[in-house]
Protein backbone atom coordinates (compact mmCIF):
# COMPACT_ATOMS: atom_id res chain seq x y z
CA UNK A 1 0.00 0.00 0.00
CA UNK A 2 1.34 3.46 -0.87
CA UNK A 3 1.15 6.44 1.48
CA UNK A 4 -1.42 8.03 -0.83
CA UNK A 5 -3.61 4.90 -0.85
CA UNK A 6 -3.46 4.70 2.95
CA UNK A 7 -4.33 8.38 3.30
CA UNK A 8 -7.28 7.96 0.90
CA UNK A 9 -8.58 4.86 2.68
CA UNK A 10 -8.43 6.53 6.11
CA UNK A 11 -10.03 9.75 4.85
CA UNK A 12 -12.82 7.84 3.10
CA UNK A 13 -13.54 5.74 6.21
CA UNK A 14 -13.65 8.92 8.31
CA UNK A 15 -15.89 10.98 6.03
CA UNK A 16 -18.31 8.09 5.40
CA UNK A 17 -18.13 7.19 9.13
CA UNK A 18 -17.46 3.61 8.01
CA UNK A 19 -14.84 3.18 10.74
CA UNK A 20 -14.73 -0.59 10.28
CA UNK A 21 -12.55 0.07 7.23
CA UNK A 22 -9.65 1.13 9.49
CA UNK A 23 -9.05 -2.57 10.05
CA UNK A 24 -8.37 -3.01 6.31
CA UNK A 25 -5.35 -0.73 6.65
CA UNK A 26 -3.69 -2.54 9.56
CA UNK A 27 -2.69 -6.20 9.05
CA UNK A 28 -2.12 -6.86 12.78
CA UNK A 29 -5.67 -5.64 13.56
CA UNK A 30 -6.92 -8.38 11.22
CA UNK A 31 -4.61 -10.91 12.91
CA UNK A 32 -6.30 -10.05 16.24
CA UNK A 33 -9.75 -10.36 14.62
CA UNK A 34 -10.77 -6.78 15.41
CA UNK A 35 -13.83 -4.93 14.16
CA UNK A 36 -14.64 -1.28 14.77
CA UNK A 37 -18.02 0.46 14.95
CA UNK A 38 -19.75 3.43 16.54
CA UNK A 39 -21.94 2.44 19.48
CA UNK A 40 -23.96 5.49 20.40
CA UNK A 41 -21.40 8.31 20.32
CA UNK A 42 -18.48 6.06 21.17
CA UNK A 43 -16.12 4.15 18.89
CA UNK A 44 -15.90 0.56 20.18
CA UNK A 45 -13.35 -2.02 19.04
CA UNK A 46 -14.50 -5.63 19.32
CA UNK A 47 -12.09 -8.57 19.43
CA UNK A 48 -13.84 -11.85 18.71
CA UNK A 49 -12.51 -14.79 20.68
CA UNK A 50 -10.00 -17.01 18.90
CA UNK A 51 -8.06 -19.84 20.61
CA UNK A 52 -4.79 -18.48 19.18
CA UNK A 53 -5.15 -15.33 21.35
CA UNK A 54 -4.83 -17.30 24.59
CA UNK A 55 -1.77 -16.85 26.83
CA UNK A 56 -2.55 -19.22 29.67
CA UNK A 57 -4.39 -22.28 28.38
CA UNK A 58 -5.03 -23.64 31.88
CA UNK A 59 -7.30 -20.85 33.16
CA UNK A 60 -7.76 -20.07 30.15
CA UNK A 61 -6.89 -16.38 29.82
CA UNK A 62 -6.03 -14.09 26.93
CA UNK A 63 -2.32 -13.31 26.44
CA UNK A 64 -0.90 -10.06 27.85
CA UNK A 65 0.24 -9.26 24.32
CA UNK A 66 -3.27 -9.85 22.98
CA UNK A 67 -4.67 -7.31 25.44
CA UNK A 68 -1.83 -4.84 24.82
CA UNK A 69 -2.40 -5.15 21.08
CA UNK A 70 -6.16 -4.66 21.46
CA UNK A 71 -5.71 -1.51 23.57
CA UNK A 72 -3.01 -0.04 21.32
CA UNK A 73 -5.28 -0.69 18.32
CA UNK A 74 -8.33 0.84 20.05
CA UNK A 75 -6.23 3.94 20.87
CA UNK A 76 -5.11 4.21 17.23
CA UNK A 77 -8.69 3.81 15.93
CA UNK A 78 -9.84 6.55 18.32
CA UNK A 79 -7.20 8.88 16.86
CA UNK A 80 -7.99 7.90 13.26
CA UNK A 81 -11.68 8.66 13.81
CA UNK A 82 -10.94 12.17 15.10
CA UNK A 83 -11.83 14.85 12.49
CA UNK A 84 -8.34 16.41 12.62
CA UNK A 85 -6.57 13.08 12.00
CA UNK A 86 -4.39 12.97 8.88
CA UNK A 87 -1.67 10.35 9.41
CA UNK A 88 -1.36 6.91 10.95
CA UNK A 89 -0.17 7.79 14.49
CA UNK A 90 3.28 6.54 15.52
CA UNK A 91 3.46 5.05 18.99
CA UNK A 92 5.94 6.66 21.41
CA UNK A 93 5.12 4.53 24.42
CA UNK A 94 2.37 2.53 26.06
CA UNK A 95 1.77 1.41 29.64
CA UNK A 96 -0.62 -1.50 30.07
CA UNK A 97 -2.24 -2.31 33.43
CA UNK A 98 -3.52 -5.85 33.77
CA UNK A 99 -6.44 -5.42 36.16
CA UNK A 100 -8.19 -8.78 35.94
CA UNK A 101 -7.66 -12.05 34.15
CA UNK A 102 -9.06 -11.62 30.62
CA UNK A 103 -11.18 -14.68 30.00
CA UNK A 104 -11.52 -16.57 26.73
CA UNK A 105 -14.53 -14.62 25.43
CA UNK A 106 -15.27 -11.68 23.12
CA UNK A 107 -13.60 -8.52 24.41
CA UNK A 108 -14.33 -4.83 23.81
CA UNK A 109 -12.18 -1.72 24.00
CA UNK A 110 -12.62 2.04 23.72
CA UNK A 111 -10.25 4.96 23.93
CA UNK A 112 -10.43 8.55 25.13
CA UNK A 113 -8.12 11.28 23.85
CA UNK A 114 -6.91 12.93 27.05
CA UNK A 115 -4.57 15.46 25.42
CA UNK A 116 -4.47 16.48 21.78
CA UNK A 117 -1.22 18.34 21.18
CA UNK A 118 0.23 19.59 17.93
CA UNK A 119 2.88 16.85 17.84
CA UNK A 120 1.91 14.40 20.58
CA UNK A 121 -1.45 12.98 21.59
CA UNK A 122 -2.24 11.08 24.79
CA UNK A 123 -4.89 8.37 24.77
CA UNK A 124 -6.35 6.26 27.56
CA UNK A 125 -7.96 2.99 26.61
CA UNK A 126 -9.99 0.41 28.50
CA UNK A 127 -10.93 -3.18 27.70
CA UNK A 128 -13.87 -5.02 29.17
CA UNK A 129 -15.79 -8.25 28.69
CA UNK A 130 -19.35 -8.81 29.98
CA UNK A 131 -19.35 -5.98 32.51
CA UNK A 132 -18.15 -2.58 31.39
CA UNK A 133 -17.88 -1.52 35.04
CA UNK A 134 -15.16 -4.14 35.54
CA UNK A 135 -12.39 -3.35 33.03
CA UNK A 136 -9.98 -6.25 32.54
CA UNK A 137 -7.09 -4.20 31.16
CA UNK A 138 -6.35 -0.50 30.77
CA UNK A 139 -3.60 1.43 29.03
CA UNK A 140 -2.36 4.90 28.37
CA UNK A 141 -0.24 5.69 25.37
CA UNK A 142 1.49 8.59 23.65
CA UNK A 143 1.54 8.93 19.87
CA UNK A 144 3.37 11.18 17.44
CA UNK A 145 0.69 12.60 15.19
CA UNK A 146 2.82 14.98 13.15
CA UNK A 147 3.21 14.15 9.48
CA UNK A 148 6.66 12.99 8.36
Partner 1 sequence: MPEPRKPFDRERALSVMASAFRTMVPLNAALDLEAIDCDFGVSVMRLPWRADLVGNPVRGVLHGGAITALVDACSGASVFFALPKPVPIATLDLRIDYLKPATPHKAVTARAECYRVGRNVAFTRAIAYHDDPSDPIASSAGTFMIATKGDSVMRKAGS
Q: List interacting residues with partner 1 (CB under 8 A).
A: 1-3, 6, 25-32, 51-59, 63-66, 68-70, 72-73, 88, 90-98, 101
Give the nearer residue to partner 1 in terms of CB position, either 40 or 99: 99
Give the nearer residue to partner 1 in terms of CB position, either 82 or 94: 94
CB of 67 to partner 1, least distance (A): 9
CB of 41 to partner 1, least distance (A): 26
CB of 37 to partner 1, least distance (A): 20
**Exposure string for 75-101, b = 16+ CB within 10 A, e = fewer:** bbbbbbbbeebebbbeeeebebeeeee
Residue 16, φ and ψ in degrees, nearest 5: -85, -5
Give the nearer residue to partner 1 in terms of CB position, either 19 or 40: 19
Give the nearer residue to partner 1 in terms of CB position, either 48 or 90: 90
CB of 21 to partner 1, least distance (A): 13
Q: Write the burial class of residue 45 (CB in 10 Å: 0-12 exposed, 13-18 middle, 19+ buried).
A: buried
**Residue 24 vs residues 13, 29, 31, 63, 120: alpha-carbon distances, Å:** 10, 8, 11, 23, 25
CB of 124 to partner 1, least distance (A): 14
Give the nearer residue to partner 1 in terms of CB position, either 4 or 41: 4
Amino acid sequence: MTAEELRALLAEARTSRDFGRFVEAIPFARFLGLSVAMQGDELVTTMRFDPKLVGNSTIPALHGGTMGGLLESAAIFTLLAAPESVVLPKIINITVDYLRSARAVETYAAGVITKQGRRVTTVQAFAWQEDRAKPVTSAHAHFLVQDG
